[in-house]
Structure 1
């Protein structure tokens, strides 16, 4: 507020010479008594000190003098009322500036201060000046703060104390001194000018809105104090917080021109609450698509229930991003894993449900499920306490019947599981620093296209990103680093998982993950895993290794290309099938592993880079391409780059189809496998049947199910040296492993051939 606002507005009351009918002996309102013709009041035209003045005898305990006119009081405007007075005779009274506060429609504003400081007259003839400041806000030096509802006043003074004395009063002066409250910044609008109190109790929301309405392009100042906002407040101007605000959880502070974490942290006095309220605003404010953390670090004392921070939203599907900062977990018991054991029943025909669940009220949604016949990364997606049923994100492979399950509820820094669905939400250039206290992110049970780009997930205690349902549909993880808290541990002792995905269309691109138990567990289809570096070794000689990438869908339709698979392997399983034996479908199919670097060191000879692990019988390979990969072992050789883990069952190699395994390189790998496989066979002695052995050259130890060609390398001769030109026929799947073939000739011959064998049809 400045002088320009009151330019042309009549502030000065009329001089006494203009008539005493403009001056009331009451409150100054229409109809109140005036001093016109009063026996105790008269105009004195020529006083030595004042010139023209009012001479007034005090006849009442409080003698009022009020201007009958309405002096306007505009929001943010501060008026100083001054009067000079001297005692003439009789008892010496006290004097103070006083006024009557008026609002719209001529109403009286009750409950406000309407008198200024009092001064006692101590001698006759001595001129005393009294003054007071009146305004809408309780600023420093304001004697009468009337709030934003006051619009005018009847200004004047009071005489108090003993009666009978006579005084003379010079014309009363009213001036606009708003400029005294602008400090050196004429562009600030102070919320206290509009009635904000800042006592932590009074609802200051209307004052904040009024200040915003009046700002007209200027900044809003929230001065020192604690301002309670009992309603949603939207500020459409820039704002400076010297004080702080508090508000109910379901009320929002929408800072449309200063939408960043530093401003919200200043508003709420600390980063954690500021982060929650800023996220609430992000989900409710269409003016911003992203929340900028401003490079700040947000320290969390416990998990943030992201949906609870936005109680008016249970689902959300508009693109929103959190960017540019660090979120750090402080130590404390709030991060402790909650573990519950309970008996439950599983029926494979209702493959995602546990029924008759004991102690179900204590089992949290989002808890990891462990038990006999339970695959990796099975979570509680939802629960029906009344029915005693839990819905799981995935089926169980061998848990039919009743058993005791263990439910582990890891604590996550950012927990989105309270949303029923969350889509198109992401984080960019944010580090989530778990400090080994907790896990990082738990996704909503449904939704699509959650994204992380150029982010760090550092030292999670248990999990980096957990999907408890289909909220991972189309997930995008790009250019991120996952840094394990278990780097000092040997491989068998590690338990943490960087991320899991249940739904389809995951994209994991150009990420780096260090020494987790698993980098990623993918249960959906149509995934792209490219350009990542994940490594999981230790210093143990002949040590074991865990899978870096787990693909737990038989028909996976997944591309794994241009990755650096370092001291770990790719595992392909069907551990999330409720009926793990093959009965229908495509079985293990549609996986492409192309142009990757596979490296291991100090591993046991039986270690392999590609492992297929069927959890039931009769499964087979039905479409797989492995090409352009570099397989290398250092500090010792390994037997083969690929194998079948037969812990539960093997593969039916009599049904293998469409396997392409070619163009790879092998160093310190004993079996350099290929399909099709070229084998040179030199038959030194003449015989009718030549047995061709692939010498472990067919992938996964498969059978010899086809021959593409038989080429004679030189003449085929009889024992007498005569050349023969007849072609042999082939007997497939010979030998104890059914991987050999027999070439059968018309007669006994010898020579050299090159045979191109296949493990598929």
Structure 2
């Protein structure tokens, strides 16, 4: 680049032969004294070494020579000032290139270096060359770095030393030498050319933005050094980093053209910090909807507080995506779980609150709450230190009164809980390598449609994805793998959970989870659990199994379809009801379990695939569909696939409604079940009262509360063999378990019938 050639800018001052009225013995500004008729300077038209030169008699310290014309100093442009000098007589002086820096309004720009290196004249008649380079940037080889404030200069030289010296100076040359600095960087704009220092202390924000504005389609170059950016810096041009930048936490670097994590890593020199700053930019820029991690592995040594990384926002509601990379957790005490105990009071009349919490300030938001009568996956949603209260993510079923609660603070790789609400946030194609040291993701307390797609959550210590409030509303988890760190443990020893949700409309689709304590704990309504494979077995013969899927809430209205439920079971409970007894609610209703594969091996004979565990009295089935499922057990046989866990209460079999349990297949199960249940009965001896047994095949220990039909198979005959055409009436709920019926005939008959029995009405 040469501005004299490309833009026709004149840098070269005129020769002395044109007159000395433009050559000042002062600073070169208008009104300063000139050498014209001064008596201290005279033009010498012929010299043995110089064609024409200025002979100066030194009378001042220093003796100045300045061209009075304004030589422009442009951003990114570097000028070389050169003069040839020789001593004629008197004391031998030092000579150096010098200038006067002029800024806006022709004011002097203070604080700049305005002299080049000194050259000592060593003999009379010996020609010495004196040079210096001036430019905006502090770059190697630049003698006078004037930054952006200086717009022009009055250039010449200073003669220093004892007065009385006579020196001849050839015509001064000023040439554009920018190409020397940019020979390897054609098309680059160097931030140093706009005043960036790169010493880690000076604020280079303005220089970065000035370089960006001047780039005009070219790439901005950040050379080696540490560049301090004290202000928000928005770079619309592509930026190439050889050096690094530092910024306050609350200031942003917005890279519009190359917004990706590899660029931020190069810029900040630290993977964790780079991710935080890139995430900060993602939530503060309208130019990009996604952050590409570029396939990079990010070494993480402590929990990343995602809200603290963006201190100017308490929430966010515009779709944003982070994709394509890996977080790799490194061993550190920063991941150690913290446990707190505190006495507190709970009242079912205020079901989401703990009051009179001792030492409430010590209890972190997001901690797991456990205690007598507290259900699974109840967390501290928020706290009020002034009132000593904690807001829970869900009510407790039987914790009324005052007791000591335990608060367990898991540490999370990515922690969004500092946001009040985060909506439409996606993470795609990411592996969370927790390495058994931490949990993976903690959601914000509020918000909706958090998306985790095509991700690996590998070896989380305690939890994969945790919801501590309602930030899981409408959550979508699709095509993800959850790989437990407890694979080598037997089932009773496991405690980790892949994910939980408290709000409605969660979609879990086509995921795979291995050997957690639970795959998912869902306590909202209207969920879709589709096409997942979750398996939780071990190598223990006749071993116990945990629930793979825990559905919490009576009225559920969820669909569980086409999953592979492997060595675990589905549990349905109402343990988040503050008043668990049935009064006027829908009770256990509106759940659909359809077309799933249920498989287990080497399990205890009392194992069941579908377990209902009611809390409180009076509950019943009020809408349940279990259809098209394949139930199989290998190596052993189990009693049945359905069971009511009566640890806290039983179902009321007199109230079941709208139960559909049909078109399922059973292999390795002693007692299959169905509703409606078809039972064939053969009466071999004449009787007017036939007892038809359901053989325990009505689901969930139900009673025969209905009989849809009784059809005779073949003829009915009397003891004497006479054929009869007769119809019985039906007595329901017969036998000790009230699961049989009795057919009453008008006379003693024998024969066969087919009946359809029901547990519901």
TM range (shorter): over 0.9
The yes-or-no answer on 1:604 pairing with 2:604 is yes
Correspondence list, 1:305-704, <5 A: 305-704=305-704
- The answer to whether the 8 Å contact 2:93/2:162 transfers is yes
Q: CA deviation at 1:167?
A: 1.0
> For the residues of structure 1 that align with 2:726 and 2:663, how far apart are their CA atoms?
32
Q: CA deviation at 1:748?
A: 1.0
Correspondence list, 1:715-734, <5 A: 715-734=715-734
- The answer to whether the 8 Å contact 1:6/1:176 transfers is no
| Range moving further from structure 2, 181-190 or 141-150 | 181-190
SS across alignment from 2:633: strand
Give the aligned length: 761
The yes-or-no answer on 1:168 pairing with 2:168 is yes
Aligned twin of 2:129? 129
Q: CA deviation at 1:4?
A: 6.5
Aligned twin of 2:31? 31
The yes-or-no answer on 1:300 pairing with 2:300 is yes
- The answer to whether the 8 Å contact 2:4/2:176 transfers is no
Q: CA deviation at 1:163?
A: 1.5
Task: Name stretches of at least 5 consecutive residues in structure 1 with no aligned partner.
Answer: none
> For the residues of structure 2 that align with 1:45 and 1:648, how far apart are their CA atoms?
116
Aligned twin of 1:145? 145
- The answer to whether the 8 Å contact 2:97/2:158 transfers is yes
Correspondence list, 1:82-161, <5 A: 82-161=82-161
> For the residues of structure 1 that align with 2:348 and 2:487, how far apart are their CA atoms?
38
Gap change, CA 1:171 and 1:134, over 3 Å in 2: same
SS across alignment from 1:100: strand
Gap change, CA 1:619 and 1:4, over 3 Å in 2: farther
Aligned twin of 2:707? 707
The yes-or-no answer on 1:291 pairing with 2:291 is yes
> For the residues of structure 2 that align with 1:757 and 1:4, how far apart are their CA atoms?
101
Q: CA deviation at 1:335?
A: 0.5
Q: CA deviation at 1:2?
A: 4.4
Give the 4+ runs in structure 1 shifted more than 4 A. Answer: none
Aligned twin of 1:758? 758
- The answer to whether the 8 Å contact 1:590/1:624 transfers is yes
| Superimposed CA distance per residue, residues 492-515 of structure 1 (whole angstroms, 9 cap, x where no aligned partner) | 000000000100000000000000
> For the residues of structure 2 that align with 1:635 and 1:539, how far apart are their CA atoms?
12
| Range moving further from structure 2, 490-499 or 52-61 | 52-61
Q: CA deviation at 1:66?
A: 0.5
> For the residues of structure 2 that align with 1:419 and 1:745, how far apart are their CA atoms?
72
| Superimposed CA distance per residue, residues 56-93 of structure 1 (whole angstroms, 9 cap, x where no aligned partner) | 01111210101111100001100000000111111111
> For the residues of structure 2 that align with 1:373 and 1:121, how far apart are their CA atoms?
96
Aligned twin of 1:44? 44
SS across alignment from 1:323: strand
> For the residues of structure 2 that align with 1:478 and 1:678, how far apart are their CA atoms?
40
SS across alignment from 1:278: helix
| Superimposed CA distance per residue, residues 277-301 of structure 1 (whole angstroms, 9 cap, x where no aligned partner) | 0000000011000000000001111
Q: CA deviation at 1:140?
A: 0.8
| Superimposed CA distance per residue, residues 273-325 of structure 1 (whole angstroms, 9 cap, x where no aligned partner) | 00000000000011000000000001111000001000000010000000000
> For the residues of structure 2 that align with 1:417 and 1:705, how far apart are their CA atoms?
50
> For the residues of structure 2 that align with 1:712 and 1:666, how far apart are their CA atoms?
27
> For the residues of structure 1 that align with 2:552 and 2:121, how far apart are their CA atoms?
94
Q: CA deviation at 1:329?
A: 0.9
TM-score computed with the length of structure 1 as normaliser: 0.99
> For the residues of structure 2 that align with 1:342 and 1:484, how far apart are their CA atoms?
31
> For the residues of structure 1 that align with 2:643 and 2:287, how far apart are their CA atoms?
55
Gap change, CA 1:521 and 1:125, over 3 Å in 2: same
Task: Name stretches of at least 5 consecutive residues in structure 2 with no aligned partner.
Answer: none
SS across alignment from 1:275: helix
The yes-or-no answer on 1:12 pairing with 2:12 is yes
Aligned twin of 2:71? 71
> For the residues of structure 2 that align with 1:186 and 1:3, how far apart are their CA atoms?
14
| Range moving further from structure 2, 342-351 or 157-166 | 157-166
Correspondence list, 1:54-69, <5 A: 54-69=54-69
> For the residues of structure 1 that align with 2:287 and 2:304, how far apart are their CA atoms?
24
Aligned twin of 2:192? 192
| Superimposed CA distance per residue, residues 585-622 of structure 1 (whole angstroms, 9 cap, x where no aligned partner) | 11000011011000011100000000000011110000
Gap change, CA 1:5 and 1:480, over 3 Å in 2: farther
Q: CA deviation at 1:732?
A: 0.5
Q: CA deviation at 1:722?
A: 1.1
Aligned twin of 2:745? 745
> For the residues of structure 2 that align with 1:670 and 1:676, how far apart are their CA atoms?
19
SS across alignment from 1:713: strand
Gap change, CA 1:4 and 1:378, over 3 Å in 2: farther
| Superimposed CA distance per residue, residues 616-654 of structure 1 (whole angstroms, 9 cap, x where no aligned partner) | 111000000101111000110000011101111110010
> For the residues of structure 2 that align with 1:146 and 1:214, how far apart are their CA atoms?
17
SS across alignment from 2:513: strand
> For the residues of structure 2 that align with 1:147 and 1:165, how far apart are their CA atoms?
35
Q: CA deviation at 1:17?
A: 1.1
SS across alignment from 1:17: helix
SS across alignment from 1:66: strand
> For the residues of structure 2 that align with 1:407 and 1:211, how far apart are their CA atoms?
53
| Range moving further from structure 2, 520-529 or 184-193 | 184-193
> For the residues of structure 2 that align with 1:630 and 1:726, how far apart are their CA atoms?
39
> For the residues of structure 1 that align with 2:542 and 2:581, how far apart are their CA atoms?
33
- The answer to whether the 8 Å contact 1:542/1:602 transfers is yes
> For the residues of structure 2 that align with 1:7 and 1:659, how far apart are their CA atoms?
87
> For the residues of structure 2 that align with 1:250 and 1:6, how far apart are their CA atoms?
42
> For the residues of structure 2 that align with 1:227 and 1:556, how far apart are their CA atoms?
57
Q: CA deviation at 1:3?
A: 3.4
> For the residues of structure 1 that align with 2:184 and 2:262, how far apart are their CA atoms?
24
TM-score computed with the length of structure 2 as normaliser: 0.99
> For the residues of structure 2 that align with 1:32 and 1:163, how far apart are their CA atoms?
21
Q: CA deviation at 1:184?
A: 2.2
Gap change, CA 1:264 and 1:4, over 3 Å in 2: farther
Q: CA deviation at 1:183?
A: 2.8
> For the residues of structure 2 that align with 1:197 and 1:712, how far apart are their CA atoms?
100
> For the residues of structure 2 that align with 1:227 and 1:2, how far apart are their CA atoms?
28
| Superimposed CA distance per residue, residues 333-368 of structure 1 (whole angstroms, 9 cap, x where no aligned partner) | 101111110000000010000000001000000000
RMSD over aligned CA atoms reads 0.8
